[in-house]
Amino acid sequence: MRIGILSDTHDQLPMIDAAVEFYRQKSVEHVIHAGDFIAPFSVKRLKAVACPVTAVFGNNDGEKEGIRKAFGDWGSVHERVARITLAGRRIVVVHEPDFVEEAAASGMCDVVVYGHSHGSDIREVGSCLVVNPGGCGGVPDCDPTCVLLDLDTMKAKLKTLNH
C-alpha cells in the first residue's frame, strides 16, 4: 500500500495541487497531512486526491471548525494526535516534534509522522520509521516537498515539487 504524507501546506494552492497530482500519478490509497493547512479552502483541494485523508491540526490552523467541515465524509482531522492502522502498520501523526522520539522508541507504532519544522526528516528509531515530509507549501524559504511511503517495504521517498 502506497500512502502520501505532507505537512505545512500553508494555503499554497499550487503546491497542494502539485502534491495531489503526484499522489494521483502514484495511485496512493491514503494521504496523511501533519497540520498547518491554515484555511478550509486549502483542505478542499486535497479532495482531488480521491482517497481518504487523515490529518491533525497544526499550530497555525485557526479556523478549526471550518477545516473540520471541509473534510466532509472523505477524511478526518484530529486535534493533536491521530492513530491509524493502514496495511497492518500502526501510524501515529502529530504536528509538533515534542514526543516524536519517545513515540518512535516506545515500540507501540511502526511509523511516526510529524511536521512543523518545514525541514524533511526520514530516519529509523529502532524499528520505527520517523517521517517529516518537510513544508509542502514551500514557505517561507524552503523547497516544497512531500513524501511517498510504501507500507509494504517501509521505503519512504522525498519528492521536491515544482514551483
Q: Which DSSP string do the residues of 34-84 spell out, in sequence order?
A: -S---SHHHHHHHGGG-S-EEEE--TT---HHHHHHHHTTTEEEESS-EEE
User: What is the average pLDDT across 128-133?
Assistant: 98
pLDDT grade for 133, boundaries at 50, 70 and 90: very high
Q: Give pLDDT, residue 9.
A: 97
* 59/55 Cα distance (integer angstroms): 13
The reported pLDDT for the residue numbered 141 is: 82
* Residue tagged 504524507 (cell numbers): 5
- pTM beyond 0.95: the answer is yes
pLDDT of residue 62: 86
b/e map of 65-74 (b: 16 or more CB within 10 Å)? Answer: eebbebbeee
pLDDT-derived band at 163, boundaries 50, 70, 90 = low
Question: Which domains occur in the chain, in start order?
Answer: 2-160 (3.60.21.10)
Q: Is the pLDDT of residue 81 over 90?
A: yes
* Termini Cα distance of the chain: 28
Q: Which residues of 91-124 are buried (b: 16+ CB within 10 A; e: fewer)?
A: bbbbbbeeebeebbeeeebbbbbbbbebebebee
Average per-residue pLDDT for the chain: 96
d(C-alpha 36, C-alpha 148), whole Å? 19
